Amino acid sequence: MLKKTLTINGIAKTLVVDPDTSLGDVLRKQLYLTGTKVYCGDGHCGACNVMVDGKLVISCMMKIADLRDEAEITTVEGIGTPAKLDPVQLALVAVGAPQCGFCMPGFVVSAKALLKRNPDPTREQVRSWFTRHHNACRCNGYKPIVDAVMAAAAVERGERDISELEFTMPADGRIWGTSYPRPTAIAKVTGTLDYGQDLGLRLPAGTLHVAMVQAKVSHARINGIDTAAAEQMPGVAKVVTARDIKGTNAIGGLNDPNNLGSTWDRPILCDTKVFQFGDAIALVCADTAEQARAAAEKVVVDLEELPAYLSAPAAMAEDALEIHPGYPNVYFTQRLLKGEDPKPLLDQAPHVVQGDFYLQRQPHLTIEGDVGFAYFDEEDRLTIHSKSIFLYGHALMIAPGLGVEMDKLRLVQNPAGGTFGYKFSPTLEALVGAATMATGRPCYLEYDYYQSITYTGKRSPFWMNVRLGADADGRLIGMESDFLVDHGPYSEFGDLLTKRGVQFIGAGYDIPNIRGRGRTVATNHAFGSAFRAYGSPQSFLASESLVDDLAEKLGIDPFEFRLKNVYRAGTGVTTPNGQEPEVFPYPEIFDVMRPHYETAKARAAEQSTPEVKKGVGLALGIYGCGLDGVDGAEVHIELTPTGVTVYDNWHDHGQGADIGTLGTAHEALLPLGLAPTQIKLVMNDMAVTPNGGPAGGSRSQVMIGQAIKDGCEKLIDAMRRPDGTFRSYDEMVAEGLDLTYVGKYATTNKDIDTEGQGDPFTIYMYTLFLAEVAVDTRTGKTTVEHFTAVTDIGRINNKLVVDGQMYGGIAQGIGLALSEDFEDLEVHTNLRDCGLPYAKDIPDDIQLFYVQTPRELGPFGAAGVGEAPLTASHVAVVNGIKNATGVRITHLPALPEKVLAGIRQLAAES
């Protein structure tokens, strides 16, 4: 042990520390300064940045022994408080930078260190600073953070008044359509919002720490598990294996009836087989995390390794074993039949293009990994806290496996440091629940980042072959598609994903004749889980690449070719699934984009050189708001002495569930004249909030928003006196009127049938993307220099949230195009090596424009937004590479070596 005296945020502290402990862990676990966020553990995210003697350091990488005595440490808690925000914090709130918020404290400290050194930085200097100091954000695309730093710097130089950063309530009292800050924003920039790790530090004495024993091979039989040595290790209370689980030991369900796979094919703990690298085999429960991890190393698993099928084609080979014995590796097929058979038409068409495409296994790369804990509550319910974005669904998916009745299972969502969809699937919920049931004690489970990467799901790769044709006038006449979905070893939602393929390949255009087939394949690579824009990035990679190639073949500008063929009112056009679009905004979207496209082309032509070729790429993207087919939600609205309380399960990845709820409720309650602060939000706890469905498919604003509107209208009707004025709370009580009203909403849509026809969504989102890229012909490195998007998502609830979702989704699209991957199980194990983009990898010049066509079935005309920016932003980048160099990248990501190989091949052929 080591005695250290440090000055923490101006206060001298004497500490006794383990010299090998990091500064970040001392701050968090001994001083409970939990504003400093430590998760990645290897200096790749910057969330743990603090200042030491005025210098910015990554606290997870600094040993406490390396600090001088009386060193001065500044954490986010020493910069500002909720009652007195620093200008940097206030500016971040004002521009909407805090989304999930997990990275925000690190950015606050980093920005303060920069401004102390350089009070008048340029935007490029800010971006370089954040990149150099590994400040990573997965949510907002960096531009809002840079905006905030520039604004705060102007305030600190005395060039702006700090009051300019504060929100001003409009004269009409409405916050719908404004930039009203989200309710959690201040807590996020001050580090006072408690995420799972922070809550874990405050669990009661007697809480056990859990460590996973993971598989280190991708496919094997389990011949035995020896826990004897682990059980004798210090502090170990129990080693939990499959034999300790009371239920069926299975996760899953909710699959299509035509799915030939095992409906419950994911074990909670593997008992007979390992299906993928990282599978959970046992859980060690001990007094400390260190003891649990040490004991987990002592568990001996006797494995008989089997052939590992790490891609869909490999798993489809004639000699491939059934990954789940008794069930075929190709377990679901979705066909698409629209109009005439296009084959003879395409065989005779004057203009036809065809290609093979692969979109990779994209990792979610949240800055906060997976954390959760479980205990038995006051009603003896097994209560599980996690980052779940599907509380009621996850309860259904894990209850039989655990052997617990639904009325004795309660799930609660912690504030989430991002999910982007992976928490649509249960990850640690069943594991930590099993540990608590087996030990009878509260249990806490925190994956390190390696475990978060290797255990949780990824975007499922698609292998696609698509043929597209047009007539002599440039009108699309037909399309054929055949694709494979590599969904990993577990079937949950794999059928849904395959259905999305036939919905979105070719979407956006009037294609009268289509035949398609998608097949879902079990493999031994990472299991497929939801990822933002589920199924559409794969689909649009194929169709939007071919649209560009077909335009080139026709000799038509790709902008004009798209405009000629997009959905238009009055033409009888339908989606690939035979559904008439609910609105037709594309002609106006193209009108808005046209001048930016012309400017981009001129800029590329002027600036391109033989060494750095510049190009412009377009792509069109569409996504539906909701679950396929019937969807709906329920909320409760309660009148209180001080205002109204909204109870809902609008789960928050960081996308803005709090302001989504508040903005919608405030608009619905306008007749009552309530201030936003009079509306209380109670969210995401099965004990007190009703089922609103998952936060996926950009459905929440529509489904839960409509339910909020319905409930608020019922309350207002009950409060209305005969003369049109409103009863007070006391009058409602005195008259014996109900104070709580149930808001409900449900759609009557039909999921697509076996031929791919149906009307799966009531509302769609529409976007046109424009990427301007520079390709270094000497290295193959691609840089996106400018990006423009024009989007129609109906009426906008909150401008900050919508902008933030667009910026962040575009950044993820650029990462998908150029760098992100989870293929190599030995290499792709941390944020950096998985290709996470930093500030310098994303353009500072991102322009966003909106066409606001009201949606008849959306609350106050709104649609969703979250999925829209990641539908096809990556294809705009790929098309830009093609425009700049002539190289068509069909297998993502477009790494420099791939682009360079294409450049050299074209040079050799010329």
Q: Which residues are catalytic?
A: 867
Q: Using the 8-state DSSP alphabet, how is residue 862 labeled?
A: B
Q: Report the half-sphere exposure of 162 (CA within 13 A, side-chain side).
A: 11
Q: Report the half-sphere exposure of 469 (CA within 13 A, side-chain side).
A: 24
CA distances from 428 to 205, 240, 361, 806 (A): 22, 14, 21, 30
Strands 72-74, 55-58: parallel, antiparallel or unpaired by DSSP? unpaired
How far is 196 from 371, CA to CA, in rounded Å?
6
Structure tokens at 377: 């509550």
| Torsion sign, CA atoms 747, 753, 759, 763 | positive
Phi, psi of 126 (to 5 degrees): -65, -45
Residue with tokens 């608020």, as numbered in its chain = 712
- Residue 799: helix, strand or coil by DSSP? helix
How far is 907 from 159, CA to CA, in rounded Å?
54
411-448: string of b/e by CB count within 10 Å (b at 16+)?
bbbbbbbbbbbbbbbbbbbbbbbbbbbbbebbbbbbbb
Residues 6+ apart with CB under 8 A from 558: 547, 548, 551, 552, 618, 879
Given a contact cutoff of 8 angstroms between Cβ atoms, the answer to whether 433 and 398 are in contact is yes
Given a contact cutoff of 8 angstroms between Cβ atoms, the answer to whether 92 and 177 are in contact is no
Helices marked H in 631-671: 657-668
CA 513 distance to own-chain centroid? 34
CA distances from 236 to 227, 230, 286, 444 (A): 11, 8, 4, 14
Q: What is the DSSP string of 677-721?
A: GGEEEEESBTTTS-----S-TT-HHHHHHHHHHHHHHHHHHHHB-
CA distances from 56 to 51, 52, 81, 641 (A): 4, 6, 20, 48
Q: Using the 8-state DSSP alphabet, how is residue 868 labeled?
A: G
Q: What is the DSSP string of 287-319?
A: SSHHHHHHHHTT-EEEEEE-----SHHHHTSTT
Strand partners, 209: 286, 444
Given a contact cutoff of 8 angstroms between Cβ atoms, the answer to whether 575 and 507 are in contact is yes
Which of 420, 427, 490 has the alpha carbon at shortest distance from 695?
420
Environment class of residue 320 by beta-carbon count within 10 Å: exposed (0-12), middle (13-18) or buried (19+)? middle
How far is 205 from 200, CA to CA, in rounded Å?
11
Strands 764-776, 612-624: parallel, antiparallel or unpaired by DSSP? antiparallel
- Tell me, what amino acid is at 496? L
CA distances from 227 to 212, 303, 365, 824 (A): 13, 14, 33, 30
- Tell me, what amino acid is at 871? T
Residues 6+ apart with CB under 8 A from 126: 111, 114, 146, 149, 150, 839
Angle at CA of residue 291, ends 415 and 438, nearest 5°? 70
Q: What is the DSSP string of 741-775?
A: EEEEEE---B---TTS-SB--S-EEEEEEEEEEEE
How far is 649 from 646, CA to CA, in rounded Å?
10
